[in-house]
Amino acid sequence: MSAVQLPGAPELHYRGDSLHVEEVALADLARQHGTPLFVYSRASMLAALAAYQRGFAGRKARIFYALKANSSLAILQVFARAGCGFDIVSGGELERVLAAGGRGSDIIFSGVGKTPGEMHRALDIGIHCFNVESEAELEVLSEVAVQAGTRAPVSLRVNPDVNPLTHPYISTGLKGSKFGIAHKNALRAYQRAASLPGLRVIGIDCHIGSQITHVGPYLDALDRMLDLVTAIEAAGIPIAHIDLGGGLGIVYNEEQPPPADALWQRLLARLDARGFGDRQLMIEPGRSLVGNAGVCVTEVLYVKPGEQKNFCVVDAAMNDLPRPAMYEAYHQIVPVRQTTLAPVVYDVVGPVCESGDWLGRDRKLAARSGDLLAVLSAGAYCMSMASNYNTRGRAAEVLVDGAQVHLIRKREDVAEMLRSELLLP
Ligand SMILES: *Cc1c(COP(=O)(O)O)cnc(C)c1O
């Protein structure tokens, strides 16, 4: 049997010819729960978290899981029980954190378009910090807080103008990005924040992009942030915490991102060298905590030889796995049962009526109708971005913990999809 290289997924392995997550065979899960099916390894998530925890050992630091990467309630429970806080970007995500057992004081609120209603609710539950992204937002937040008879704890998201060397759609810290407050306007914005009656300045933050695989952009961003902290404090505004956002990349194919502990060794050395080593640190990782902890199991419906290409049509599609269509992203695709059949080169595509509905191009696979394939590195930005396009119900999800299997999301049925729609009289 040919050895398949499985990227960055510690709990994914072949036992004999059968692909397992921890102690559980994916073929058994597919038989029991149907396909497409997301399968997550709890141990993989905790191992990814442990790399950050090792990196921060002995420091004043807190990890806030950015739940837009995967906001399923049971996944939030795993991180809440492990002591993580949460970085939210909407009122809906706020309610998810509470439903999963998180507390207001565990939450920081990012995003360029917070509504007064969302601010009100966040103040009500006592959130830890608002990461404010514009001067206009400062004004509105202050008004909402004054009305509520309180002061909102704020950090300003600064745009450090560094290139994260990643896909343009997931670069967020460059000039011309909609995110954050321009570095050159940041001091003025802090002075404004400090003068408003409803605000309490507590920190500074940035988030330069996602799927970052180099240390350099992080070091550059850190330097730019520390320059600002010096200037802001010189203006008489103390900065209690420094939040460097998320963004660390994972292995989808042949990327070589630094491990989280190695990245933080470098960043902490720079913080120490510049005299900021005892500051409260915060980070907001998403993808790097869950991305390689999940796979999507899908069944081959048809193999379709073409004039120029062969197509392998599977039952998962762009509504389940949107990253290839959105970013031309690569996910490794491997057989759930290895065979000795000769492989053929296929485009692996879904049933959705869009040419953009592909999961992998030019993949060598031995696939017949009824076979199962696993789309790897599907733990982040897959289910949380899933849609009902083509009136396809969203997939089911299971969490594997050793030999135990927990169904954490039922497959969405048609009745659920139609529930909120109204017929004309
Ligand atoms: C998306 C996001 C994150 C998480 O990014 P990852 O690349 O998944 O680590 C963190 N902070 C903010 C503000 C975000 O928007």
369-380 tens-digit pLDDT? 999 999 999 999
Domain boundary among 236, 265, 285: 285
Does residue 101 form part of some domain?
A: no
pLDDT at 165: 77
What local confidence, expressed as pLDDT, does residue 170 receive?
A: 73
Looking at the structure, tell me whether residues 240 and 206 fall in a common domain.
yes
Indicate if 330 and 181 belong to the same structural domain.
Answer: no
| 85 located within any domain | no
Residues 207 and 256 in one domain: yes
Same domain, 232 and 137: yes
The dihedral over CA atoms of 168, 319, 46, 166, expressed in degrees to the nearest 10, equals -10
d(CA 87, CA 69): 10
Per-residue pLDDT tens, the chain, 425 aa: give them.
445 667 667 799 999 999 999 999 999 999 999 999 999 999 999 999 999 999 999 999 999 999 999 999 999 999 999 999 999 999 999 999 999 999 999 999 999 999 999 999 999 999 999 999 999 999 999 999 999 999 999 999 999 988 887 777 777 777 778 888 999 999 999 999 999 999 999 999 999 999 999 999 999 999 999 999 999 999 999 999 999 999 999 999 999 999 999 999 999 999 999 999 999 999 999 999 999 999 999 999 999 998 899 999 999 999 999 999 999 999 999 999 999 999 999 999 999 999 899 999 999 999 999 999 999 999 999 999 999 999 999 999 999 999 999 999 999 999 999 999 999 99
Whose Cα sits closest to atom 10 in ligand 1? 246
Q: Verify whether residue 353 is a known catalytic residue.
A: yes
Q: Which of 251, 266, 285 is the last residue of a domain?
A: 285
Q: What pLDDT, on the 0 to 100 scale, is given for residue 5?
A: 63
Ligand 1 lined by 247 (C-beta under 6 Å)? yes
Between the CA of 416 and the centroid of ligand 1 the distance, in Å, is: 30
Radius of gyration for the chain, computed over Cα atoms and rounded to the nearest angstrom? 23
The one catalytic residue in 206, 312, 353, 382 is 353
Q: Give 246 Cα–ligand 1 centroid separation in angstroms.
A: 5
- In the chain, the number of structural domains is 2
> Which pLDDT does position 2 carry in this prediction?
42
Q: Is 157 near ligand 1, meaning CB less than 6 Å away? A: no
Say whether both 308 and 381 belong to one domain. Answer: yes
User: Quick check: pTM over 0.85?
Assistant: yes
Full domain range(s) for residue 368: 12-41+291-418
Q: Quick check: is 271 in a domain?
A: yes
What is the residue-wise DSSP string for 143-155?
HHHHHTTS-EEEE
**What per-residue confidence (pLDDT) applies to 377?**
97
Regarding whether 255 and 163 lie in a shared domain, the answer is: yes
Q: What pLDDT does residue 1 have?
A: 42
Burial class (CB in 10 A: 0-12, 13-18, 19+), 303: middle
Domain-located, residue 50: no
- Are 232 and 363 within one domain? no
| Whether residues 234 and 262 fall in one domain | yes
Note whether 188 and 280 are same-domain residues. yes
Cis peptide before 36 (omega within 30 of 0): yes
Tell whether 117 and 222 lie within a shared domain: yes
246 lines ligand 1 (CB under 6 A): yes
Q: Answer yes or no: is 72 within a domain.
A: no
CA distance linking residue 207 with residue 115, whole number of Å = 21
Q: Are both 327 and 197 inside the same structural domain?
A: no
The CB of 180 under 6 Å from ligand 1? The reply is: no
Same domain, 320 and 262: no
The Cα–Cα gap between 309 and 305 comes to 7
